[in-house]
Amino acid sequence: MISPSAPLEAVFRKLRGLDLILLVFLWHAALGIFFLALVQQYLRQELGASAAFPGYALASYSLARFVWQTPAGWLADKLGRRVMLCAGIAIGLPALALMMALPSKHLFLAFSGLYGLGAATMWPALLAHVGDTHEPNRRGRALHFLNMAQLLGLGLGTMIGVFLGDLVSYTSVFIACLSFNLLALFVSLRHQPAPACPVGRECGEEVQLSALRSMLRPGVMILGAIILFLSLGIAVQTPAIGTYTDQVLRVEMHQAAYLLLLPGAVAVVVALKCSHLADRFGRHLPLIVGLTVTALSLFALTLTRSPFLAVNLAVLAGLAYAVSVPAWCAAAIDATQVHCRGLLLGTLATLQGLGGAAGQAAGGKVSEMYGPLAPFHFAAILLGVAILLTVVHIRHQQLQRRKLEAAAVRF
């Protein structure tokens, strides 16, 4: 018999899901302003930093994520998803306010690290919440929509930041970034994620130690290696975007943003049609296809000087990335234990932070030493390694299934 309140509960679940999507969208809009307008332009144009400093700032952000994400995941299991989600978003407000109040290229690096600390605090809690509230055959779709909100937020933030920085002032850029961050905090306070498992019971020390030991399983370690090289590949070319636009394409950032509008809109429509791929075709096929197209698109950027073609290749790379990352996230959630999901996802995300920190630090220096095209070559190679590791993971899972089938026949 169906409960009379079942339809109402379904509506509330859908509204909570939309709240989560809105939260991710707003927070990443602030992040898009930070990454492109503040790190890529403000640092060099207003603070007089060298071409290597954007890489250092992004490395500081990612290093904070690397250091803090495992403890933050553990705290998400102990204190609850909502507490850590709200705390992580709240940390961004003083970080941005200090960047605006104290204009110094060296202090900017420290405040970037503080901003990264906020991201590290919220992200394991967010992924753990998805795992807590979605069955395995629905996780890929949920993660896809969250990733779409992430990319759309980054795109909107990028355009707003670039236009305000080029046409108004960097004070307006900071105000816009703070506003998006504040709105995200408001939505997070409204949102009610499912509570974590009870403290002192299912998340006891024995279970936590068991969760840490499970990180040594070959399948989980390969997943960690995949996200490490994926993050390296994406991060190494990020600090070179501003220099690539100026020196290779010979256009202003806001002009490139105009060219981005139409292909970006088409990519959004296509991406919405791809929301079911990781659930329908498994985690590996979308991951391999997405990584391959991303690598080829980034490499093709080094072969063209046409702003129109470059923008379309960048959008294609973003679309492929939007397919591959939810597939990896779904595979990572599938590999975690139910009651200590935050700890395990935080540990895996630590490798992502390591890849981001190392890639961004190297990307800025490589761009300074060898020119703006070199980071894109490195990115394609690193993503190729991630593809090979995905093939290894497929082979490992096939062997594991055969062992289980053999054991079942034996007994």
Q: Is the pLDDT of residue 332 over 90?
A: no
Q: Quick check: 357 and 66 in contact, CB under 8 A?
A: yes
Distances (CA, A) of 139 to 273, 278, 280, 282, 372: 16, 8, 11, 11, 38
Q: What is the pLDDT of residue 191?
A: 55
Confidence bin at 12 (pLDDT 50/70/90): very low
Which position has the higher pLDDT, 192 or 33?
A: 33
Instruction: Kindly tell me if the per-residue pLDDT of 152 is higher than 90.
Output: no
Per-residue confidence at 26, pLDDT binned at 50, 70, 90?
very high
Contact 53, 105 (CB under 8 A): yes
- As a residue count, the chain comes to 411
- pLDDT tens-place string over residues 35-76: 888 888 888 888 877 777 887 888 888 788 888 888 888 888
- With 0-12 CB in 10 A as exposed, 13-18 as middle and 19+ as buried, what is 47? middle
Q: At residue 166, what are phi and psi to the nearest 5 degrees? A: -80, -35
Dist CA 151 CA 38 (whole Å): 18
Taking the CA atoms of 50, 69, 355 and 328 in sequence, report the sign of the dihedral they define: negative
Burial of 27 (0-12, 13-18, 19+ CB in 10 A): buried
pLDDT of 209 reads 59
Q: Whole-angstrom Cα distance, residue 127 to residue 343?
A: 11
3-state DSSP helix/strand/coil % of the chain, to nearest 5: 85, 0, 15
Please tell me the distance from the alpha carbon of residue 232 to that of residue 246, in angstroms, as a whole number: 23
> Which has the minimum average pLDDT: 1-15, 43-57, 111-125, 392-406?
1-15
Q: Indicate the burial class of 314 (C-beta count within 10 angstroms; 0-12, 13-18, 19 or more).
A: buried
Quick one: pLDDT at residue 212? 59
Domains contained in the chain, CATH given: 7-410 (1.20.1250.20)
Written as six digits, the tokens of 405 are 């089938």
